[in-house]
Amino acid sequence: MFDSDGDKALEGAKKRSLKILGSRQMSSSRMEKRLIEKGETEENARAAVLWLEKIGAINDKLYAESICSYYSKKGYGLTRIKDELYKRGIDRDLWDEATCTIEKEDTNDAALKFLHKRLRGSSDRQELRRAAEALCRRGFGYDDAKKAINEYLENLEIYE
Q: Long-range contacts: 9-13, Cβ < 8 Å, 24+?
A: 9/40, 9/41, 9/44, 10/44, 10/47, 10/48, 12/40, 12/44, 13/40, 13/41, 13/44, 13/45, 13/47, 13/48
pLDDT value of position 1: 38
What does the pLDDT look like over 42-60, one tens digit per residue?
999 999 999 999 999 999 9
Q: Which of 101, 138, 103 is nearest to 117 (CA)?
A: 138
Q: Strand, helix or coil at 1? A: coil
Length of the chain: 160
**74: Cα separation from own chain's centroid:** 11
With 0.75 as the threshold, say if the pTM is over it: no
Q: Is a pLDDT exceeding 60 seen at residue 12?
A: yes
Q: Strand, helix or coil at 8? A: helix
Q: What mean pLDDT is predicted for residues 68-73?
A: 87
What mean pLDDT is reported for the chain? Answer: 86
What does the pLDDT look like over 83-101, one tens digit per residue?
999 999 999 989 888 887 6
Q: Which of 91, 30, 32, 34 is nearest to 64 (CA)?
A: 91
Percent of the chain with pLDDT over 90: 49
DSSP 39: T
Position 23 confidence tier, pLDDT thresholds 50, 70, 90:
low
Q: What is the DSSP string of 115-159?
A: HHHHHTT---HHHHHHHHHHHHHTT--HHHHHHHHHHHHHHHHHH
